[in-house]
Structure 1
Amino acid sequence: MGQRAVREALSSGLLAQPWRGVVVPAADSLKLPTRAEAALLLAGQPAALSGATSLVLHGVSVAECADIHLTVPYERRVRSKPGLVVHQADYQPHDVLELDGLPVFSLDLALADFLCRGDKRTAFAAAEEAMRGLPPDHLQRLRDNVRDRIVDRASRKGIHRALSMLALADGRAESPPESMLKLVVVEAGLPLPDVQYPIYDIDGRLLYVLDMAWPARRVALEYDGFAAHEDRQAADAERDRRMLGRGWITVRAAAADLRDPGRVLRELRDAFRVRSV
């Protein structure tokens, strides 16, 4: 284009400059693949997209963040910039695969890194999202591969928590908030719940599927996502009444309870005390 044409396109808004020395079409400047490719151009090779960026490119949406994460070998000197987080690590060619023309860490390596270093709740939800819908043999293979990656890490930081979360993840939660709520409950010292627990009528017909349940005590925990439960308070209250008639105590949680789970944990403990008498 030439320098003058580039300057005019930047001035008019046709081009955007995420980092000095790299320009992209402004219409695509918020798209993850475009920003990722711009980061790779800036860093030069060898480099691979890693961390949260690689997980999102693998389809794990809960890991989405504004920054682009990439990893370069130790001998390379590439600095982080606003919106670009550069990690240094030794990795092998087989650790990287190509997704839509971009070099990306493999899913098992990206999950292992994120479980060790990412935000705890988001990392656990990412592991569950990656497992969701997998056939049992594929799920076990992914779990085994991630475990091997974790124990083989040169840095021992975060390994214990990563292995604990990996053991807890099973991919059965229907949404990331439900995964996070499950982690909150278990970390509070409550028993591991059954996830997506079915309730049948006397004729064997499916009535409800509970987000989380402790069948032996007939205690249920339901997460009310905004989209799924807006304007459904009356229906939810009627369902809880019907479940109470079947001997179940239902505790309900919402997005605010993930930020401050005190009320939910108190109600669950109260329900457990009632059922332990």
Structure 2
Amino acid sequence: MHPETSDASVPDLILDGRPFTRAEGRDHALDAKQIRRLLRIGLLRSVVRGVYVDALVEDSLPLRAAAIAKVAPPDAVACRRTAAWLLGIDTLALSEHADTPKADFVRQTKARAVKISRANGHSQTLFPGDVIDWYGLQITSPMATAVHLARHLRRPFALSALDAMARAGLITRVEVQDAIRRYPHHPGIVQARELAALIDPAAESPGESWLRLRMIDAGFPAPVPQIEITDGVNGYRIDLGFLDSIPGTADRHLGLEYDSDKWHGTPEKQREDSVRRTRLGRLGWDILPVGRWQVWGEDTALEDSVGKILGLVPRSRRW
């Protein structure tokens, strides 16, 4: 597998590039020890818990569906985070990127929740039209998926998932609000109503959604995502901005930018950010960079700093 190649050859793919379980691996003389070794040296990757594929195979929605089908009970429907993932939406919590989560399933009937070691079984209401065929797999529809994510995920991850689904054109705010009315007394419906009203397809990353929710939960006006600024020559976009002028100024505004570790962690990128924010300052925008630790930590310094600039007293943190 993966032999040295020449211009005239192509490396063989493990199990021809098909996703497979450990049991299927054994059928092809690939035992658990060999799978662990191939994972460790980067020749295999885990698609979903208990399902693997050659590392050279590109990620795709059909591949994801084929992988989930390997662990899906015949009478179950992929739902919640798994359904979102199959639709191309990442809903993982920060810590879960280090591990492959279990798949989420619900039964179409009123039978007991799915029980399988490699999956999370759920009991939830499925209305007519809530189940669709997706690359040969039964999954909850985008709208049903959005409603159940809004009900059951932690607030920040629920909102970032809803924003991403709206940005992808899978849902709209009004549609989700209408759909939520079908669940008047279901668990989590109060949170779902609150978050549905905040859906904004302009948010371009989970970090922006989390930061926006942090500001809203602090009692500040909802900052506007992706504000476009130009100096007549160059164009700029600010992750989040408050459109009202900063109190005590003629026409200065506060902008917030979520500096992720991945995209803003290098010295070169930090220098670029500094130059860009200096230019935005000349255009009337005071930019406050915000790191992940400020959004997720227990320290209230972020809310205190923003509140001081806006002349507002922040509410206590909700998450």
Q: Which position in structure 1 is the counterpart of 2:124?
A: 89
Is the counterpart of residue 224 in structure 1 residue 259 in structure 2? yes
CA 269–179 in structure 1, closer or farther in 2 if over 3 Å, else same:
same
What percentage of aligned pairs have identical amino acids?
Answer: 22
> Residue 6 of structure 1: CA displacement?
4.2
Question: Which residue matches 2:70?
Answer: 38
Structure 1 partner of 2:242: 214
| CA distance in structure 1 between the partners assigned to 2:91 and 2:149 by the alignment | 12
| Aligned equivalents of 2:280, 2:86: Cα separation in 1 | 41
Task: Show the 5 A alignment for 1:141-156.
Answer: 142-153=172-183, 155-156=185-186
Matches within 5 A, 1:1-277: 6=27, 10=31, 13=34, 26-27=52-53, 32-40=64-72, 43-45=73-75, 47-63=76-92, 66-73=101-108, 75-92=110-127, 94-132=129-167, 134=169, 142-153=172-183, 155-201=185-231, 204-217=232-245, 218-229=253-264, 230-231=266-267, 232-260=269-297, 262-273=300-311
Higher helix share: 1
Whether the 8 Å contact between 2:226 and 2:239 is mirrored in structure 1 is yes
- Whole-angstrom CA distance in 2 between matches of 1:12 and 1:239: 51
Instruction: Please state how far the C-alpha of 1:35 moved relative to its aligned partner.
Output: 4.5
Q: What secondary structure does 2:191 align onto?
A: helix
2:20 maps to none
Moved more, 60-69 or 121-130: 60-69
* Unpaired stretches in structure 2, ≥5 consecutive residues: 1-23, 37-49, 246-252, 313-319
1:91 partner amino acid: L
Task: State the shift of 1:150 in Å.
Answer: 1.4
TM-score relative to the length of structure 1: 0.79
Q: CA deviation at 1:10?
A: 4.3
Over residues 62-117 of structure 1, what are the superposed CA-to-partner deviations in whole Å (9 max), with x where a residue is unaligned? 34861110101454235534441111234245221111111010000000011011
Separation in 1 of the partners of 2:51 and 2:162?
Answer: 33
Pair 1:11–1:79, CA change in 2 (3 A):
same
Distance 1:255 1:127 in 2: 20
Offset at residue 56 of structure 1 (A):
0.7
User: What is the CA deviation profile of residues 164-194 of structure 1, one whole-angstrom value per residue up to 9, with x for unaligned ones?
Assistant: 2111111101111111110111111111112
Compared CA separation, residues 160 and 11, structure 1 to 2 (3 A):
closer
Contact 2:106–2:114 under 8 Å retained in 1: no
Question: TM-score of the superposition, structure 2-length normalised?
Answer: 0.69
What secondary structure is seen at the aligned counterpart in 2 of 1:242? Answer: helix
Q: Secondary structure at the match of 2:70?
A: helix
Note if contact 1:73-1:89 (Cα within 8 Å) is conserved in structure 2: no
The alignment's C-alpha RMSD in Å is 3.2
Task: Compare 72-81 and 94-103 and name the one that shifted more.
Answer: 72-81
- Misfit runs of 4+, over 4 Å: 5-15, 28-32
Question: Which letter maps to 1:208?
Answer: Y
